[in-house]
Structure 1
Amino acid sequence: MTSAAKIASTPFRLIATVLAAALLAGATRAEERAPHSGLEGREYVARMTGVFNGVRVDYEARLEETLITNDDDAPAARFYSTAYLAQSGPDRRVRPVIFIWNGGPSVAAVPLHMTGFGPKRLAPRRLGADAPVRLIDNERTLLDVADLVFVDPAETGFSRILPGGSRDYFYSAQGDAESVAQFIRKWLDAHDRSHSPVFVMGSSYGSIRAAIVAGAMAEAGAPLDGVILLSQGVNLVETTQRRHNLVGYASNLSQLAAVGWFHGLTARPDTTVHDVVDEAYAFAMSDYLVAIAKGRAIPKAEREAIARRLEALTGLAAGEYLTRDLLVNKTDFRRNLLKEKGLVLAANDARDAYREDAPPSGEGSERIEMKALKTHLTSLFGATFPLDAYRFQAPETASWDYGGSSTLDGKPVAPGAVRSVFSDFDWTGELEKAFAANPSFRVFIATGVYDLLTTTGPARMLASNVHFPGDRVESAEYEGGHDFYADEAVFPRLAEDLRSFVNAESAAR
Structure 2
Amino acid sequence: MLKQLTLGLLLTAATALAQAEDTKTPPAPVADPQVSVSEHKGKFHGDTVKYRVTAGDTYLKDDKGNPKASIFSIAYTRTDADNSPARPLLFVFNGGPGSSSVWLHMGIFGPKRVVLPSDAERVGAAPFTVEDNRLSLLDVADMVFIDPVGTGYSKPLGEYEGKAFWGVKEDAETLAEFIRVYITQHQRWNSPKYLAGESYGTTRAGALVRELQEGWGSIDLNGVLLISSILDFQTGDFTEGNDTPYITFLPTYAATAWYHNAIANKDQWSSLEAFLQDVRQFALEDYATVLLKGALASEAQVNNVVDKLHRFTGLKPDYIRQSNLRVNEFLFMKELLRDRGQVVGRLDSRYLGEDASIVRERFEADPSSYAIDGAYTAAIQAYLAADLNVQREEPYHILSGEVFMNWNWLYARTAREQGFLNVTPFIAKGMRQNKDFRVFVANGYYDLATPFFATEHSMNHHGIDLERVTMKYYEAGHMMYIHQPSLEALVQDIRDFIVPR
CA distance in 2, matches of 1:176, 1:233: 16
Q: Which amino acid aligns with 1:299?
A: S
Per the alignment, residue 475 of structure 1 pairs with 471
Q: Provide closer, same or farther for how the CA distance between residues 459 and 29 of structure 1 changes in structure 2, counting only shifts above 3 A.
A: farther
Question: Quick check: 489-498 or 339-348, which moved more?
Answer: 339-348
- Name the CA distance, whole Å, in 2 between partners of 1:101 and 1:122: 17
State the 1:363 CA deviation.
5.3
Residue by residue over 1:182-225, the C-alpha shift from the partner in whole angstroms, topping out at 9 and shown as x without a partner, is 11111111111111110011111111111111110002511211
- 1:78-477 matches, cutoff 5 A: 78-124=70-116, 128=123, 130-219=125-214, 220-266=217-263, 267-269=265-267, 270-357=269-356, 359-360=364-365, 362=369, 365-381=372-388, 383=389, 385-386=391-392, 388-394=394-400, 396-397=402-403, 398-406=405-413, 419-420=415-416, 423=419, 425-477=421-473
Aligned to 1:73: 65
Whole-Å Cα distance in 2 between the matches of residues 363 and 315 of structure 1? 26
Q: Deviations over 1:413-451 (max 9, x none)?
A: xxxxxx337645231122133223311101111121111
How far 1:372 moved relative to its partner?
A: 0.8
Structure 1 residue 478 displacement after superposition: 1.0
Distance 2:231 2:290 in 1: 27
Secondary structure of the residue aligned to 1:389 is: coil
- State the identity as a percent: 28
TM-score, L = length of structure 2 = 0.86
Distance, in Å, in 1 between the alignment partners of 2:291 and 2:419 is 26
SS of the aligned residue for 2:175 comes to helix
* Distance (whole Å) between structure 1 residues aligned to residue 275 and residue 158 of structure 2: 53
Unaligned runs of 5+ in 2: 1-23, 358-363
CA distance 1:332–1:389, change in 2 (3 Å): closer
Tell me, in whole angstroms, the C-alpha distance in 2 between the residues paired with 1:188 and 1:492: 30
Decide which moves more: 346-355 or 122-131: 122-131
State the SS of the aligned residue for 2:485. coil
Alpha-carbon distance between aligned partners in 2 of 1:472 and 1:76, rounded to the nearest angstrom: 38
For residues 92-128 of structure 1, what are the alpha-carbon distances to aligned partners after superposition, in whole Å with 9 as ceiling and x for unaligned? Answer: 4431011111111111111211222211101235664
State how far apart, in whole Å, the 2-side matches of 1:498 and 1:391 are.
28
Give the AA of the match of 2:282.
F
In 2, Cα distance between equivalents of 1:143 and 1:30? 44
Equivalents in 2 of 1:340, 1:191: separation in Å? 58
For residues 144 and 204 of structure 2, the distance between their equivalents in structure 1, rounded to whole angstroms, comes to 16
Q: Distance in 2 between matches of 1:115 and 1:380?
A: 17
Residue pair 2:428, 2:465 contacting (<8 A) in 1 also: no
Range with bigger deviation, 488-497 or 273-282: 273-282
Say how many residue pairs are matched: 462
Contact persistence 1:218–1:433 (CA under 8 A): no
Give the distance between the partners of 2:427 and 2:320, measured in 1 at CA: 36
- Asked whether the 8 Å contact 2:476–2:486 carries over to 1, the reply is yes
For residue 384 of structure 1, report the CA deviation from its aligned partner: 5.6
Structure 1 range deviating more: 92-101 or 249-258: 92-101
Bigger Rg, structure 1 or 2: 2
Residue equivalent to 1:18: none
Question: Cα–Cα, structure 1 residues 205 and 35, in superposed 2: closer, same or farther, change >3 Å?
Answer: farther
Of 239-248 and 188-197, deviating more is: 239-248
Segments of structure 1 that go 5 or more residues without pairing to the other structure are 1-27, 408-418
Q: CA deviation at 1:237?
A: 2.6
